[in-house]
Amino acid sequence: MNQFHLTEDQQDCLRELINIAMGQASDQLARYLDTFVYLKVPSIESVEAKDLMKTLSQQKNTVAVVSQGFFGYEGIRGEALLVYKEENSGRIADLLGYEPDELSQDEQLIDISSILTTTFLNVFAQQINNQLSYNAPKLLPNVQEILSEHLQQMPFTWDLALKVNINYQVTDYSFNCNMILLIPETAITNIKHVLDRILEEF
């Protein structure tokens, strides 16, 4: 994260906020889904757009990515990518309690993505006294071809971004997926001001 010039205190504060949000989000998801949800310790790093494309294109058995933009007060904004592998996509109906053929697989992917994204980000927003709004989730099949074009169409540029990678695991259903939060460099500057305000309160 050094490319964003976050101080050590700012980095520690951001990690703590994310960890708290993860804990509360996993608890909410567990009650909503009526099963245990485990969130692994996230990785936080700076990333260039070209490196992200390379990373995603090399992931084996990726069946789809669902992308959902978010934005809030004080210039906080970004994009959440939910990455699914083929072996997990067939378990979503059971996880959400859908009847066979009740929804298409695409609709199931969008539903679970919206739940996972908004649960975590709403809790994170509460930690920083913010409130987030969301764009409609968008399914991106054929990841390697479409993701690059999709990112280029976003209403902000992020040649350099903060990347937060969170892995969701639902052991009862042998289901897991990755949520990648991309926060563009311009929003990082705004987040730094928020972190400084939080640090001053302690």
The pLDDT tens digits of the residues spanning 63-91 come to 788 999 999 988 899 989 888 877 777 78
- What would the two tokens of residue 154 be? 């976003």
CA 27 – CA 120 distance, rounded (Å): 10
Mean predicted lDDT score pLDDT of the chain: 82
Note the pLDDT tens digit of each residue in 163-201: 888 888 888 888 888 898 988 888 888 888 999 999 998
Cα distances (Å, whole numbers) of residue 13 to 8, 16, 33? 9, 5, 30
Token pair 């009740």 is found at 102
- The alpha carbon of 201 is separated from its chain's Cα centroid by a whole number of angstroms, namely 27
3-state secondary structure the chain: CHHHCCCHHHHHHHHHHHHHHHHHHHHHHHHHHCCCCEECCCEEEEEEHHHHHHHHHCCCCEEEEEEEEEEEHHHCEEEEEEEEEHHHHCCHHHHHCCCCCCCCHHHHHHHHHHHHHHHHHHHHHHHCCCCEEECCCEEECCHHHHHHHHHHCCCCCCCEEEEEEEEEEEHHHCEEEEEEEEEEHHHHHHHHHHHHHHHHCC
Q: Distance (Å, rounded) from C-alpha 142 to C-alpha 196?
A: 41
Query: Rounded to whole angstroms, how far apart are CA atoms 156 and 185?
Result: 10
pLDDT tens digit sequence for 118-165: 999 999 999 888 999 999 998 886 555 566 666 666 655 667 788 888
For the whole model, what pTM was predicted?
A: 0.85
